[in-house]
Structure 1
Amino acid sequence: MLKINLLGPVEVFVDGKAMPLPSSRKTRALLGYLALCATPQRRDRLCELFWDVPDDPRGSLRWSLSKLRPALNAGGRIRLVTDRERVRIETDYIDLDLHRLRDLINDEAATPDALAAGWALADQVLMEDCELSNQDYFTAWLTREREDLQRLKASLARRLAQSEDIPREDASRWADSWLDNAPFDKEAAQCVVSSRRMVGQVEEAAALAARIETEFEEAGLKKPVWATAPDRVQPEGGTIADDMDGHRLASRQKVRFVKAQDDVSLAWASIGDEDSPPLVKAANWLTHLELDWEAPIWSPLFRNLAQDHHLIRYDERGCGLSDWEVDEISQDTFVSDLEEVVDSAGLDRFPLLGISQGAAVSIEYAARHPERVTHLILFGGYPAGWRHTATPAEVREREAVMVLTETGWGRSDPTYRNLFSQTFMPDATPEELKWFDEFQRRTTSPENAVRFLHAFADLDVRDKLSSLSVPTLVIHSRGDRRIPVSTGRELAAAIPNAEFVSLESNNHLLIGREPAARTFLSVVREFLRA
């Protein structure tokens, strides 16, 4: 067993013996990045993260990998797996300290002593010897990882603060640690004040409550509501959407690869209890099986759906973890790729969820395989791309957007990608738009972005609508600026016995925090129970 420590300085041990690592900060940073990501990483993305163009990034990457191989492949087991396009660390036979920490948080039987030891482990700087001040993208990634570690510390402190198995004075100290790591968590604030009362510090509790109220008000937040009785604040019944962070979800999902009919490698993933009813989501613009879990946009929807379903997703060819260099991107390949994924997953009958252009792909699949689709759910969908329906003026506008996409997609300036972000989610916050801009850039190449737009424009399943026999639910946002709600109504009218539900939202892609997202989940669950 090989052990990697990322809390504190990056270290590698084999059978308790420290393995020598190169002094290069970038090489140690690369090791930490690959170990935490766990999934295959494209070489060009790694070059972009760690090296500047004048430094011969591909040569530097090869050098760093050569220096890591002796440590990672110790004992004759190949753990650093590389090919011409991708690099990954095989983590099945690696003991990673951060993974142990996350497993501890999920262990309901963990003792207070084990939780306290976990907190001490977490109370270190993640990859403290790996700062790269001149690599902005890596620095942003490392900052997010360290913020996630702080949330893990807060979760551990919460467990200890609410434990009935430790003295009240100790619980009070853990409540302080919880609030230190989550300063605007109302439940943490309530626990801190309540714990002071429980140890008889009534005046201190009152003063602390007043200070916390001031801090919340100055931050523009609603003040906590204080319990009148000195009881411990019990944790609320959490859900996967509330309590599981993106990294834990990414580590729990199983990512696999299947070859398409033209030998393209397709990445697909499953998450949720395999004994639960399946739910397949057709791919749409744009996805990344790993990065999706960090999305402020759709990840809450996926998290909730995974509570009571075995959720199957995949990255369509040309983006995410699937092959980017492909000969064909078209309606036919979209459908045949879906066929390959569900066959690889071993599914006989299943409900199918199609979002945006994924709706047309789902319709075509259901028309070809009516015996396999139990329910069809279409959100923000359309039966035909704009090339079949647009006016000459709209055609000129769409083609101009594609020219802009080809020239501006890969730039650090998000102006061009904002063309898409703001039509997809007009009600998103600047932070959410910024995240989606960067997500799009990391998920596909400029060339493929244009190829996708061409393929979406050519979609046409209008001739299949009247023949659908599967129970169908059509959902559409009333204020959708990318695909008008009238298109959703017409789609539902053309499918025999289809149900139609409109949502109070302006967003083509639902944002997880908006009330319409909860409505979406409610109607989908009700439909699937029928």
Structure 2
Amino acid sequence: MAPQDRPEQVTAQNDRLTISLLGELRVRRGGEDVPLPSSRKARALLGFLVATGRPHRRERLCELLWELPDDPKAALRWSLTKLRPVVDHPDHRRILSDRERVRFDAENAEIDLHEIHARLRAERQPGVGELEEMAQRLAPVLLDGLDGAGDAAFLSWLEAEREDARIARVEVLRRLVAHPDLPALSAQKWTRIWRDADPEAEGAPDDKARAPDALPGPPPKIGEARSGGLTASGLRSQRIAFCEAPDGTKIAYATLGSGAPLLKAANWLTHLEFDWTSPIWGKCFAEIARDRRFIRYDERGCGLSDWDVDNLGFDAFVEDLEAVADKLELERFPLLGISQGAAVCVEYAVRHPERVSGLILVGGYAAGWRHMVSAEEKARREAVRALTELGWGTDNPAYRHIFSQTFMPDAGPDELAWFDEFQRLTTSPGNAARFQEAFGEIDVRHRLGAVRAPTIVLHSKDDMRIPLDMGRALASGIPDAQFVPLDSRNHVLVDYEPAWRTCMQAIREFLDQHGI
């Protein structure tokens, strides 16, 4: 490099960059996202330079990303001019180049994958919280969306980098399940995730040895015979990626299976990675994905989506659904809405009637509690909201029992214990309280009559969270909607109760009847 090209030592806060290689390429300066070039090749170039961290000959970069008869050298120069405003600072040039070579200067830049590798190499062993955080950060596909940006050599490099990231995640999971401070319930969950990530792993601790007496044993893993035909690698075979809502919020979504698409609107208490290892959602999702391309996403403020968001309102929830459908370029598809996700589906169907081929609404409602309950009930719910904000993130599950006992009053102790722990992992105490407030404000009663898609509404007769009358009102407001009462008290059905089988059969018959 020429002396004039070397950057000065800069430590100014406004120069510090955070670069995410895990998931879609993302650059942030001072906590704010920096817009990336629309060109996939330019983004691939930046990802390659950042990930490798070394100089590359211009000819090599041209061969990786551009083909004749185009002008590769001109294309490289153009891409570099687009990338410099993204990463450079007036006092610090990060894209360094001379007539022969190009490199990225990572000084004062935090790169997620490099940071994780450094923490794994450090003498100090990470604690449980650090290991959990690293495992979650390593879950998305490295440089997602850039597979076809270059030639075969670029794809080979990309696949090798992704394999290295997978190996790093397996190592993180291995350390996590062996950590002596890992709680028993978490140990069961992370052991299953480790085994799914690395089926050849040896020395995995025995779940039962660490499980509390209240749990009769771990729930079945996704992919066993009763899951409807998915392989044992159900967790691994789902593809997690990210899209961006209009306000810049990153929304995590996952796809699994093949065939006609079915998109599930987000509802509270989901986590794309952990859902498949839970006894709550696992078999339900596996059954749906048996012969379809099943798509689901984590709500903003929840799961793998951005937690630190300004807007947790209903319109934002609908925009998140729109962002996922647009990202995947879905043309016409049925929607599945559970709990408050039903109202989101209704609103989306009214806004986009040409895209929605059918609505499946389970345990849903058209108007939130602020519109429907007495003054006494409002006071009770506001008290619960305050308790949630204070105690949600603590080790004491009593605060979360408030929800688990009403979501699944007839569930067994293993499901309830899982649900308590799962709630803590899905969102922050502050967001848990904000969600309760947001759901109370929902009101799509005036939109029901405008739904044109075939609709089926399923609701537990003795639902202790959302009364049957609210499900009946939802169905009666939608023209020609089919209503199916379910013989259960659970708001979230569990797979061993007869109502679950009734629900799955009714959904399948509905889809077949309407050719969806």
**TM category, shorter:** 0.5 to 0.7
* Displacement after TM superposition at 1:33 (Å): 8.3
Partner of residue 478 from structure 1, selected from 448, 461, 473: 461
* Displacement after TM superposition at 1:484 (Å): 1.1
CA separation in 2, counterparts of 1:428 and 1:28? 29
* Displacement after TM superposition at 1:521 (Å): 1.1
* Displacement after TM superposition at 1:504 (Å): 1.4
> Is the CA contact 2:128–2:179 (under 8 Å) kept in the aligned structure 1?
no
**2:61 is matched with which residue?**
none
CA separation in 2, counterparts of 1:337 and 1:523? 28
* Displacement after TM superposition at 1:29 (Å): 11
Structure 2 unaligned regions, length at least 5: 1-119, 142-156, 209-215, 218-222
CA separation in 2, counterparts of 1:36 and 1:323? 13
Q: 2:278 corresponds to which letter in structure 1?
A: A
**2:369 is matched with which residue?**
386
Partner of residue 269 from structure 1, selected from 240, 245, 254: 254
**1:408 is matched with which residue?**
391
**1:238 is matched with which residue?**
225
CA separation in 2, counterparts of 1:264 and 1:129? 29
- Post-superposition Cα deviations, 1:347-398, rounded to whole Å, max 9, x if no partner, equal 0100000000000010011111111100101100000001111111111111
- Post-superposition Cα deviations, 1:429-458, rounded to whole Å, max 9, x if no partner, equal 122111111111111111111111111000
CA separation in 2, counterparts of 1:420 and 1:90? 42
Matches within 5 A, 1:339-350: 339-350=322-333
* Displacement after TM superposition at 1:329 (Å): 0.6
Closer/same/farther in 2, CA of residues 527 and 447 from structure 1, 3 Å limit: same
Q: Equivalent residue of 1:397, what SS?
A: helix
CA separation in 1, counterparts of 2:351 and 2:454? 15
CA separation in 1, counterparts of 2:175 and 2:439? 45
> Is the CA contact 2:452–2:479 (under 8 Å) kept in the aligned structure 1?
yes
**2:449 is matched with which residue?**
466
Q: Equivalent residue of 2:457, what SS?
A: strand
**1:288 is matched with which residue?**
271
Q: 1:131 corresponds to which letter in structure 2?
A: A
> Is the CA contact 2:128–2:182 (under 8 Å) kept in the aligned structure 1?
no
Structure 1 unaligned regions, length at least 5: 1-19, 42-76, 80-88, 100-125, 157-180, 184-219, 222-235
Q: 2:398 corresponds to which letter in structure 1?
A: T
Q: Equivalent residue of 1:91, what SS?
A: helix
* Displacement after TM superposition at 1:314 (Å): 0.5
Q: Equivalent residue of 2:353, what SS?
A: coil
Partner of residue 529 from structure 1, selected from 509, 512, 515: 512
**1:131 is matched with which residue?**
178
Closer/same/farther in 2, CA of residues 27 and 302 from structure 1, 3 Å limit: same
Aligned residues: 366
Closer/same/farther in 2, CA of residues 458 and 482 from structure 1, 3 Å limit: same
CA separation in 1, counterparts of 2:129 and 2:459? 44
**1:26 is matched with which residue?**
126
> Is the CA contact 2:138–2:165 (under 8 Å) kept in the aligned structure 1?
no
Q: Equivalent residue of 2:126, what SS?
A: helix
Partner of residue 259 from structure 1, selected from 226, 229, 244: 244
- Post-superposition Cα deviations, 1:22-71, rounded to whole Å, max 9, x if no partner, equal 45443899679846984169xxxxxxxxxxxxxxxxxxxxxxxxxxxxxx
**2:295 is matched with which residue?**
312
> Is the CA contact 2:177–2:190 (under 8 Å) kept in the aligned structure 1?
no
Matches within 5 A, 1:72-471: 91-93=162-164, 96=167, 127=174, 131-133=178-180, 135-137=181-183, 141-146=186-191, 238=225, 240-241=227-228, 244-245=231-232, 248-273=233-258, 276-471=259-454
> Is the CA contact 2:197–2:236 (under 8 Å) kept in the aligned structure 1?
no
Q: Equivalent residue of 1:473, what SS?
A: strand
Closer/same/farther in 2, CA of residues 244 and 21 from structure 1, 3 Å limit: same
Q: 1:322 corresponds to which letter in structure 2?
A: S
- Post-superposition Cα deviations, 1:313-364, rounded to whole Å, max 9, x if no partner, equal 0111111111111111111101111101100011010000000000001001
> Is the CA contact 2:224–2:231 (under 8 Å) kept in the aligned structure 1?
no
> Is the CA contact 1:478–1:505 (under 8 Å) kept in the aligned structure 2?
yes
Closer/same/farther in 2, CA of residues 343 and 150 from structure 1, 3 Å limit: closer
CA separation in 1, counterparts of 2:245 and 2:487? 39
Q: 1:136 corresponds to which letter in structure 2?
A: L
CA separation in 2, counterparts of 1:509 and 1:140? 20
TM-score between both structures, scaled by the size of structure 1: 0.62
Q: 1:91 corresponds to which letter in structure 2?
A: R
CA separation in 1, counterparts of 2:243 and 2:250? 6
Closer/same/farther in 2, CA of residues 403 and 127 from structure 1, 3 Å limit: closer
> Is the CA contact 1:352–1:373 (under 8 Å) kept in the aligned structure 2?
yes
CA separation in 1, counterparts of 2:489 and 2:161? 42
- Post-superposition Cα deviations, 1:171-216, rounded to whole Å, max 9, x if no partner, equal xxxxxxxxxx999xxxxxxxxxxxxxxxxxxxxxxxxxxxxxxxxx
Q: 2:283 corresponds to which letter in structure 1?
A: P
Instruction: Kindly indicate whether residue 107 of structure 2 is the aligned counterpart of residue 39 of structure 1.
Output: no
- Percent same amino acid among aligned pairs? 47
Q: Equivalent residue of 2:406, what SS?
A: helix
**1:166 is matched with which residue?**
none
* Displacement after TM superposition at 1:505 (Å): 1.2
**2:30 is matched with which residue?**
none
> Is the CA contact 1:241–1:303 (under 8 Å) kept in the aligned structure 2?
yes
CA separation in 2, counterparts of 1:98 and 1:149? 9
* Displacement after TM superposition at 1:493 (Å): 1.3
> Is the CA contact 1:421–1:433 (under 8 Å) kept in the aligned structure 2?
yes
Instruction: Kindly indicate whether residue 491 of structure 2 is the aligned counterpart of residue 508 of structure 1.
Output: yes
Q: Equivalent residue of 1:312, what SS?
A: strand
CA separation in 1, counterparts of 2:228 and 2:317? 29
CA separation in 2, counterparts of 1:476 and 1:423? 15
Q: Equivalent residue of 1:482, what SS?
A: coil
> Is the CA contact 1:28–1:130 (under 8 Å) kept in the aligned structure 2?
no
**2:99 is matched with which residue?**
none
* Displacement after TM superposition at 1:241 (Å): 4.4
> Is the CA contact 1:409–1:417 (under 8 Å) kept in the aligned structure 2?
yes
Closer/same/farther in 2, CA of residues 524 and 340 from structure 1, 3 Å limit: same
Moved more, 325-334 or 485-494: 485-494
- Post-superposition Cα deviations, 1:117-147, rounded to whole Å, max 9, x if no partner, equal xxxxxxxxx94898332x234x754555546
Closer/same/farther in 2, CA of residues 419 and 497 from structure 1, 3 Å limit: same
